[in-house]
Structure 1
């Protein structure tokens, strides 16, 4: 798969880099963990974050024209979030369409310098 991404990535300029965007969650951030809980979900997202960071370092070291980023979609109105929606601040529960629109904006504006970064739906960088 990586060789195909390199071909699709072109010359390595910001516009020509292939983008690998993975959906993570803020709860996967070790630096942003202030509440604990959600052990299995946090662990799985932290593992995804580590994998993404690791391959982003390898791509940069090899000067491959591939940018790996992580995305936090916010709290989206889905079956998964139903039990927790009562704790979501007003205006912070998003439709699927809104979240996807915001994430696509981040993907479409990703640059080589964003390789290995973790972004929230609003474009703010999340600590690892």
Structure 2
């Protein structure tokens, strides 16, 4: 069974529907690639998926230890290259003012983030820079 159903809306815009939840994502070509830049570009969603996947895995590890990651935030920076046009680097910067005191748990979480399914699925030519400010 399909996971996502998508359609082309014209003007370099697409709509994707997550079949199980009916949540919708609109994508738009970026301004620097003939688009309007009014929504996530397809490469933005790839970069965002890396950060979300990392946090999901860290959350699973934290929950398993009876902990909550409240207050954790992150920013994603995507760098493109040309010829061919593709993602060159994704930078994920995590910020957390009140991390756990358990250094062993923090180390597990950082390792889990770096080995999340999206991180392992991206082509090795895409540089993944992960900064943990905690």
Higher relative contact order (CA 8 A, sep 6+): 1
TM class by smaller structure? under 0.3
Which protein has the bigger strand share?
2
Which protein has the bigger helix share?
1
Q: TM-score, normalised by structure 1?
A: 0.27
Q: TM-score, normalised by structure 2?
A: 0.26
